[in-house]
Amino acid sequence: MIENLTRLRVRYADTDQMGVAYYARYLEWFEVGRTEMLRALGLPYAEIEKQKVALPVLEAHCKYHRPALYDQLLRVASRLKEMPRARLRIDYEIFDEAGELLAEGYTLHTFINPEGRAVRPPRVFMQTINEFFTQP
């Protein structure tokens, strides 16, 4: 399993008039989580895009346990639990400063070229991921 922890702060822009973070914003935080996980792997998403491969989202899911509040410093845990093939699934958990689980979810991605057609993951991508999954 590949795992990454990153932190971010809830902005005023993230809140709504219920006094909590708006539910769509969590998907932006998932994006922050996977971006940092890829960077930590040595595969920054900006580099993947330069190789003319994009990872659009096929599916997104979020369960909201407790509301995230303005100015909280959240921790986003992103996990790649299975070796990706045609599809790549990333799981997320979002915690507050006290370690309470606020939300969890996943995104499912595919690899496409600039014409929007499904392609194989870039070789360097698979090699890097492979090394992590075959580590003893």
DSSP class of 116: S
Residue of 16, 71, 91, 96 with catalytic role: 16
H or E, element range at 124: helix 123-134
Q: Residue 15, interface with a second copy (CB under 8 A)?
A: yes
Q: Residue 41, interface with a second copy (CB under 8 A)?
A: no
Q: Residue 93, interface with a second copy (CB under 8 A)?
A: no
Distances (CA, A) of 12 to 28, 51, 56, 71: 14, 36, 28, 7
16 is catalytic: yes
Q: Residue 5, interface with a second copy (CB under 8 A)?
A: no
Query: Which listed residue (7, 42, 46, 101) binds a second copy by CB under 8 A?
Result: 46
